[in-house]
Chains A and B, each alone.
Chain A
């Protein structure tokens, strides 16, 4: 059974600190997505990682993909309160699996002053 596991599920950080969210998956895939969800809101696309070794950065967030290890990371640098949200990774299942993506359970991030 395909599994997408995020760690941790809950993360409370102080402003200014660094931390990494991990996304492990159990199937072969070359594409992985990171989404952000604010409370009561829809999902907003953050990063699309399309190949092994891909690294994308936007502001204080940096995402990477290691397809051989089936691992993606979302690194937070010098966290600020505005980054408080739930972050989801999603794995592209490809043409032979509904053309769909499988989501992790989400990491709820709280950044405290």
Chain B
């Protein structure tokens, strides 16, 4: 089954403790992206990647890092999480960007206390 798999689904952590949210797709998509969803703001792009070793900032990149060492994986790293990063995070992939539509992962609800 074609899908985007995120882990974990739920995560509660403390301020400053580094964490990684994993994202993997099995569709051989070149384009992958991370979003955060906050009430009243819709989805906002954090980082995106057009291919292996090619990543760039989205609209809200502060406090986040990403890497794209393999085509299928696109982890989101929070080096020092803060409470304002409490949010619902989605990973998405596409053959080559928005024009082809996105497949979204199931989401990761992160709480930073």
Contact = CB atoms under 8 A, between A and B. Distances in A.
Interface string A12-38: 000000000000000000010100000
Contact of B42 (A45, A92, A99, A103): A103
Secondary structure class of chain A's binding surface, majority of residues: loop
A100 B96 CA distance: 10
Interface residues of A, number: 24
Contacts of A48: 101
23 contacts: A4-B42, A9-B40, A31-B98, A33-B98, A40-B107, A42-B90, A42-B105, A43-B90, A43-B104, A45-B101, A88-B42, A90-B43, A90-B98, A92-B99, A94-B99, A98-B56, A99-B31, A100-B58, A101-B102, A103-B42, A103-B44, A105-B40, A105-B41
Interface of B: 31, 33, 35, 40-45, 48, 50, 56, 58, 90, 96-99, 101-102, 104-107
Interface of A: 4, 9, 31, 33, 40-43, 45, 48, 88, 90, 92-95, 98-101, 103-106
A19 B26 CA distance: 38
B7 to A, nearest CB: 14
A34 B101 CA distance: 10
Contacts of B41: 105
A94 to B, nearest CB: 8
Given A42-B104, A42-B105, A99 B97 contact: yes
A104 B110 CA distance: 22
A100 B107 contact: no
A18 to B, nearest CB: 25
B32 to A, nearest CB: 11
Contacts of B45: 98, 100
Given A33-B101, A98-B45, A99-B99, A41 B106 contact: yes
Contacts of B97: 95, 98-100
Nearest to A105: B42
A58 B33 CA distance: 28
A21 to B, nearest CB: 14
A98 to B, nearest CB: 6
